[in-house]
Amino acid sequence: MTNSMQESKSKRVSVWLWDEDYPHSLNEEELRTPTLVLRDAFSQFSLADCQYLLWEWQHCHYRPFTFTFGEGLVTLFRFRKMLNKLLDVAWLTTRDVDDGHLFRVCKEKTTAHLFDHNYFIALKKEDLRDLRSKMQIMLSDGVGLQWWKNILYHWWGMGVDYSQLDDGGRTNPTDEIPQFMQLILMIEIQYVLTMSLDITKVENRFAAAAYLSREEGQHPFKTLMKIFSKWEYDMLKENLRKVHDFLDDGMEEGYLSMHNGLIHTQHKMIALGAKLAREDGAYFQRADIFTFTYEEVGCFWEHDHYMPFHHLSMSEYKDPLITLRKFDFAELNRKLHAYTAFLVERNRFELDDELLAFNELFQQLERLLETLYLFILQRLRIRN
């Protein structure tokens, strides 16, 4: 009673959330101990889950009701809620001196091993030396905490609300790729922080890897075959060329789904390749994985198809599996992210080295495409 009387006596203060930063997603308990949020967040979502959900969300948020992972929209709703909380915690930890201990616990030596078992999209090993400033830069990159929350609010509205759909004149989703990278960076930093608090990591619930859903990860060969039967080899090469041509043409506004869709598929193919390359010999002996009925196969190969293989030597041509194992898939994914980020920062001065590096990326991607195609052709068995 006395408590409530005191409360009613204290003067009312208004925080205008569109203009001022305030960690309004946290309740009182979480404000006192932000580590509660970290614990809770990473016991619900593994790192790969976070990466996958955010990546899918960013690339699909203009296509409502395509959220097929988890329980659909509810999963996304919860994920967004969790992200809001993580943003608040990031803001608190970089701001309050009291919570600096979180960063003190997290030493470079004790957390470096995380890099052996996890794939990080944005965080680099060098960053471990000063996570705090990295986080500060990330938060101040926008106009502050509220700016980031507004982005999530906007993405949510774009993905869910039918009335928000537009033809691309109003928004350009490709502009949001750098924001996606920054959010991923924040999640990864907080994951490292959480793991240094002696919290055991949980299993993936939604993702097989950062770019694959659980279902896709369970049947990588089938998924790959679906991709090739949807577009066919020629078409995929053509698509890859289109992605490369963004360098000259830029990302035109007005084609909402095209740009992100093309890049989205490239990431998926790299991830599927990585998944297959990691499997051992026994996996490739299993006939059930590679045998399909004629109807399942779809049409991705015709006898009169012209199939140029520019990048493969004779030995590579003969054994695509060995070729597949030689790729550095994680690096390919990261480079592709860097490429998309480069495309939307058009005002930046272009260095020749960068352009050359991108050419190398595309050579690798084309090589991968050829390898995967050959791999499917060689392994696929049709059941009569």
CA distance from start to end of the chain: 79
Give the span between the Cα atoms of 215 and 229, in whole angstroms: 18
Residue 15 CB, nearest approach to another protein (Å):
5
Q: Which of 283, 269, 377 is nearest to 329 (CA)?
A: 269
Site residues for another protein, 143-162, by CB under 8 A, read 157, 160-162
19 in contact with another protein (CB under 8 A): yes
322 in contact with another protein (CB under 8 A): no
Helix or strand holding residue 365 (H, E): helix 352-379
Binding residues for another protein, total number by CB under 8 A: 34
Query: Phi and psi of 30, rounded to 5°?
Result: -70, -30
Point out which span in 11-19, 236-244, 292-300, 331-339 binds another protein (CB under 8 A): 11-19
24 in contact with another protein (CB under 8 A): yes
81 in contact with another protein (CB under 8 A): yes
Point out which span in 8-16, 226-234, 275-283, 324-332 binds another protein (CB under 8 A): 8-16
Coil, helix or strand for 62? coil
User: In terms of CB distance, is 23 or 217 closer to another protein?
Assistant: 23
Applying CB under 8 A, among 77, 231, 255, 309 the residue interacting with another protein is: 77
Residue 25 CB, nearest approach to another protein (Å):
8
Region of 63 on the Ramachandran plot (φ > 0 left; ψ -120 to 50 alpha; else beta): beta
Coil, helix or strand for 72? coil
31 in contact with another protein (CB under 8 A): yes
Question: Given the structure tokens 């930063």, which residue do they identify?
Answer: 21
Helix or strand holding residue 133 (H, E): helix 131-141
Give the span between the Cα atoms of 328 and 345, in whole angstroms: 26
User: In terms of CB distance, is 74 or 235 closer to another protein?
Assistant: 74
Q: Where do contacts with another protein occur on this chain (CB under 8 A)? A: 4, 7-8, 10-19, 22-28, 31-32, 65, 71, 73-74, 77-78, 81, 157, 160-163
